[in-house]
Structures are given as structure tokens and as C-alpha cells.
Amino acid sequence: MMVADDYTENLLGKMEKYGINPDSDRKDQHFIVCKDVVDKLVDAAHISNEDYVLEIGPGIGQITEAILQKGAKLVSIEIDTRFRDIIADIKTRYASRFDVIWGSALEVEWPVDVNKIVMNPPFSILEPLLEILYARREIELISMIVGRRYYDNAIQKPGSRSFNKSALMTQAKFDSALVMEINKECFYPLSGGKSVVMTLTINKRPNPVLRSLANFYVNHREINTKFVVNQVLDLLNMNARKYKRIEEVITIRDVGIDVAILNKRLQDLSNSELAQIIQRMTSQINFQRKKPKERFLVR
């Protein structure tokens, strides 16, 4: 049963007033109707009047208004024109600090200089959205509502069985933090899976294997995996070769990745194959750093 308080009733009344019937099947629309979740989502972004915030999917505007009340400059991206009147009403009250871009967040050009993102996106577009977020160098912090499964994967050890492309794009750039778990009753219509509020903040010392692989995924995913692995190894071996520490050089044979995987294009790798590459390369690097000379002890 849905939680019924004044905040929720006001949002449901707004949807009725503007004739909004959420499309949970085709558009994966589930609106947050609990004030504490909206507050936690926005507070986790630590928004001030010095921030330029991007919101993806403003929908019925409750998160939009909470962001604007913090004094920030805001631009929202919305694909569903049924919300045009709701967004227009908010714009009349915050005209100097609020703008909207109509279209898909995966297709439109994002504004420059945005430093924070707040969003409750359709979970179905999360993986391609993460690739865009990875490429945006100016983003400092992201506060978002996502499925619990994504959060659990995002904090997995690199190369673990459940490690996937979304985890790669996340860990290659960000640190993840759980803010709160969300009751299903806080979604309208009810959400079938478990969801959370979480944040992503810039990791200043990302895993070099993950960072290199993510760069190729975003920019050159159609090329051969063996080429990618060799390129990553060249980067990792740069210092060893520079200082002539040959015992620290890691070869593709050392890594021991299956030949069938190496012969695939990067974009064709399954999650389990990607996990194998990451696990083998990360393990070999850690081993070589701890025992760099053991390979040369036998004469």
C-alpha cells in the first residue's frame, strides 16, 4: 500500500491536474512520491548557489524544485513532452536559474560546465548513460536513484563474477557510496525491484587497468581485444621500461587470458569475459609489484 501523506497527495494531485499517467512499461517511468527520498537525493549532492546542476528526467518536477530551492543554477533534460506544462510552471518561478532541454539524455548535447548531476533515470538506460558520464571530465559528483543490483555490482571487487560493463564504467572513474535504501511504496507506480539512493564522486587514483579499458570502451570499442590488452600493458609497463626494470615488465603471456577472448572485438565481450580480463590483469599487476624478481631467480 502506498504511503499517503500531504506531500504524496499533492504530487498525485498534480499528476491528476495535468493528466499524467506514468508509462512504466514503455518508458520505465516510476516517480518518487516520498519527501524524505527527494530530500536525501538532493542533500547528498551538497548543492550550493555556486553549482551548475544537470537533472536527467525531471518528470513531475518534485526533484527539480528541491534542487532550485538550494540556490543552484539548473538545466534539466526531459524526453516526455507531457510534462511541458509542469516544467513551464516551474520556469516561471525560477526563470533566471532554470532551463530545460527537450530530448533524450542519450542523444542531446549536454551543457558545458555542469559540475553536478541529480537524477532518477529509467533503469533501462543506465549503462549507456554511464558511458556519457565517464566521458564528462567536469563532473564532480552524481546523486542518483538506481536499482540495488547496480549498486551491489558497482562495489564489487574488480574481476569478480558479477563484475560487468556498468561496474567498469563506474569504478574506472568514481567512488560509490550508499545514501539510503528506498521502500517500494515510495514509487508511483510501485517499482518491482529494490532501489537505492547512491552517490558517485571522482576517484583521484583509479585502478589503471579499469581506467584504460574504460577509455577503449568509450572511444574504440570496435577494435580487437588482444590489441586493447597489449595497449593497456604498454601503459602499465611504461615505468618499468623507462627505468630498465625488465623483471617488472608484464607480458600478455603472463596475463593468461583465453585466446578465444583475445580474438573477439571489445564490444562483443560478455560480462564474464570482461571480468576474466580484469581479474587476470589486476592479479598479475599486484603479484608483480609484490614479487618483481621471482621470475629471474632460477638460473
The mean per-residue pLDDT over the stretch 152-167 comes to 89
* Listed residue (47, 44, 52, 39) closest to 139, CA to CA: 52
Distance CA 299, CA 228 (A): 33
| Tens digits of residue pLDDT in 92-143 | 999 999 999 999 999 999 999 999 999 999 888 999 999 999 999 899 999 9
- Burial zone of 86 (CB within 10 Å; 0-12 exposed, 13-18 middle, 19+ buried): buried
At residue 229 the predicted structure's pLDDT band, cuts being 50, 70 and 90, is very high
pLDDT exceeds 90 at position 240: no
At residue 295 the predicted structure's pLDDT band, cuts being 50, 70 and 90, is very low
- Burial zone of 4 (CB within 10 Å; 0-12 exposed, 13-18 middle, 19+ buried): exposed
The mean per-residue pLDDT over the stretch 285-290 comes to 60
What was the pLDDT predicted at 27? 62
At residue 250 the predicted structure's pLDDT band, cuts being 50, 70 and 90, is confident
Q: What pTM was computed for the model?
A: 0.88
At residue 13 the predicted structure's pLDDT band, cuts being 50, 70 and 90, is very high
Distance CA 27, CA 20 (A): 13
The domains of the chain, with CATH numbers, are 6-202 (3.40.50.150), 208-296 (no CATH)
The mean per-residue pLDDT over the stretch 78-94 comes to 95
Q: Helix, strand, or coil here: 56?
A: strand
Q: Where are the alpha helices (DSSP H) in the chain?
A: 6-17, 35-43, 62-68, 84-93, 126-135, 148-154, 165-171, 208-219, 225-236, 238-242, 252-255, 259-262, 271-290
pLDDT exceeds 70 at position 25: no
